[in-house]
Amino acid sequence: DAKTTQPNSMESNEEEPVHLPCNHSTISGTDYIHWYRQLPSQGPEYVIHGLTSNVNNRMASLAIAEDRKSSTLILHRATLRDAAVYYCILRDPNSGGGADGLTFGKGTHLIIQP
């Protein structure tokens, strides 16, 4: 999987939007951009994924740059429950012959201030 780069930590205030950046300058044309998050003392959970177009779901939005070399996860109104480590991961469904273990980096530790 191609490498991603994320800030080590970010801080935001409760009920404000949060923009979590991810750089993936070596992304290939078939890599999907996935986001998972890990709340304290829990396993990771899926947040959202996309290929080229921006995506929205009940948890977040994903904005993908036109050249696909970067993306931003947007939490529209952060709550204290959104405090977690957020991981940006590239996955290519056309590689690996079915081997699709997630390659996690260190992620971004999001701190939410009340």
Partner 1 sequence: EAGVAQSPRYKIIEKRQSVAFWCNPISGHATLYWYQQILGQGPKLLIQFQNNGVVDDSQLPKDRFSAERLKGVDSTLKIQPAKLEDSAVYLCASSLGPYNEQFFGPGTRLTVL
Stretch of 13-21, 42-50, 51-59, 63-71 contacting partner 1, by CB under 8 A: 42-50
Q: Is 45 in the site for partner 1 (CB under 8 A)?
A: yes
Q: Is 23 in the site for partner 1 (CB under 8 A)?
A: no
**How many residues sit in the footprint of partner 1 (CB under 8 A)?**
23
C-beta separation of 77 from 59 below 8 A: no
Cα–Cα distance for residue pair 114/112, rounded to 1 Å: 7
List all residues 6 or more positions away from 96 whose beta carbon is below 8 Å from its beta carbon: none
Strands 70-75 and 61-64: antiparallel
By CB under 8 A, the residues from 55 to 114 that bind partner 1 are 85, 87, 91, 93, 96-107
Largest CA distance in the chain: 46
Q: Which is nearer to partner 1, 41 or 53 (CB)?
A: 41
Q: What Cα–Cα distance (Å) separates residue 46 from each residue in 12, 13, 26, 29, 67?
A: 21, 23, 23, 22, 24
Q: Is 17 in the site for partner 1 (CB under 8 A)?
A: no
Minimum CB separation from partner 1 for residue 43, in Å?
A: 3
Minimum CB separation from partner 1 for residue 114, in Å?
A: 25
Q: List interacting residues with partner 1 (CB under 8 A).
A: 36, 41-46, 85, 87, 91, 93, 96-107
